[in-house]
Structure 1
């Protein structure tokens, strides 16, 4: 007889659709000051971080999201030295940023210190670079950090949850305007912008708002199995550099599992129904 714990968790990605995992062990389950946090173990995807009942990252597929958030803007910018990550307390984006020798300092600002604490404990392969001397970790409000910054960063990456709870302000036009102010004159930013199957209106709104602020605004995609629909989008806003016009000489060798220079360009080739959301 199978003696495995038969505890199943379902993330309800819409009212009528969800994705279900068998959970073998619950490491942590608590209501933090900001959100419901669970750290669980699954057979299919390994250790998994859940926030407010949504899958944030897993051992098995985390590299897709983190590589595509970090490397697309960092290879687009010719000399990124000062980088900011808003959210991303699991440390995956920071890990990828540290692969770029030009980066002198990366600042991570996450509102929930428990995410950072438990990621270090249970997701060491993801959070391992949070103690790197080139990294400054701030437990605080990313929206307010942006508001207080001016002409400071070469690249800003918004690694947020979906636009609910503490992350709602990170999907507003005012926030994107603040990002523009916080960036240097040739700065670039990228934000995760959910999926085109269930949240097309969100993508349309973000594209419209970012286009009003950044002269170069584009959408790209990646496949993340544990995120709603598997197709995930990212919006990039750039003051000067076109992410589809990166010279071959700018790419340098880094260890990746998903991202490649060829994929960098291919990610901007969108299915027609997704391309229509950018118009």
Structure 2
């Protein structure tokens, strides 16, 4: 791959023109061209093992906790009732599933990943994710997530869309038809959490998404987190509830946290709330309540 040169990996993409993030490579462990994308796994000098799809970092051992924990625990903790059935679209590395399983009330997690190559590479080379794939609560579907949701109406307490950027195999997950399918797949008080880019790089994309999401969901908020190896060092989520009265910025369920906090590195109920406080440039552009 062109991104690997002289012992370094450089994240080159038109999604962030004029800049890139680089990591020193200790050893390349896996390179594959799947049916859908290029898959790369390598050991880095400072961030442990790294998973890369189509030249874009998806996770590193050192900082994946920020993304996986917040993406899972914000929507699950924001529910007014205990979650029982959760769907993850994308997320073939298994990290979000790992975090969901820390909620004892969850009975089923449906993981729908279109690229089996991502699942297989994660099972083999990302051992800190392997526990999630072995859980009897996990139902793995190698399938198109957009189609899967259309086939499962009123099924889930929470739907989590752990997608890559809106290019390649994830492009179908960023339009209004997909969000309508997400809403229909949720039960009457369900919550959607979806990856929604960086406010520092993609504010126009985020604002465009917000414009159609607020026509679909009665309750829409935007949360942002710090994560060093994602473009600009930040990533955001749309948190959308079918229950207009549910303040998703507040963690209502905290008993699971007391039993799981020794296994957590990033999420806590205070950070849950503060992640929705946006800088003025972003809050002005998005026009969402804070």
Name the structure 1 match of 2:249. 244
Are positions 1:131 and 2:134 aligned together? yes
Partner SS state of residue 16, structure 1: coil
1:126 positional shift: 2.3
Q: Does the aligned pair in 1 maintain the 2:102–2:256 contact within 8 Å?
A: no
Query: What does the per-residue CA deviation read over 1:75-117, in whole Å, with 9 as the maximum and x for residues that have no partner?
Result: 0112111000000000000000000001000000000001111
Partner SS state of residue 173, structure 2: helix
Q: Does the aligned pair in 2 maintain the 1:84–1:107 contact within 8 Å?
A: yes
1:6 positional shift: 4.5
Name the structure 2 match of 1:178. 181
Are positions 1:159 and 2:162 aligned together? yes
1:127 positional shift: 3.4
1:248 positional shift: 6.8
Question: What runs of 5+ residues in structure 1 fail to find an aligned partner?
Answer: none
Q: Does the aligned pair in 1 maintain the 2:176–2:213 contact within 8 Å?
A: yes
- Matching of residues 222-241 of structure 1 within 5 Å: 222-240=225-243, 241=246
Question: What runs of 5+ residues in structure 2 fail to find an aligned partner?
Answer: none
Q: Does the aligned pair in 1 maintain the 2:225–2:234 contact within 8 Å?
A: yes
CA 1:249–1:139 in 2, change beyond 3 Å: closer, same or farther? closer
1:260 positional shift: 0.4
Q: Distance in 1 between matches of 2:200 and 2:281?
A: 9
Q: Distance in 2 between matches of 1:249 and 1:111?
A: 33
CA 1:41–1:210 in 2, change beyond 3 Å: closer, same or farther? same
Partner SS state of residue 37, structure 1: strand
Name the structure 1 match of 2:222. 219
- Matching of residues 265-276 of structure 1 within 5 Å: 265-276=273-284
The alignment's TM-score, normalised by the length of structure 2, stands at: 0.92
The number of aligned residues is 275
The alignment's TM-score, normalised by the length of structure 1, stands at: 0.95
Bigger mean CA deviation after superposition, 228-237 or 250-259 = 250-259
Root mean square deviation of aligned Cα: 1.4
Q: Does the aligned pair in 1 maintain the 2:94–2:129 contact within 8 Å?
A: yes
CA 1:194–1:127 in 2, change beyond 3 Å: closer, same or farther? farther
Are positions 1:72 and 2:64 aligned together? no
Partner SS state of residue 257, structure 2: coil
Are positions 1:194 and 2:197 aligned together? yes
Are positions 1:37 and 2:39 aligned together? yes
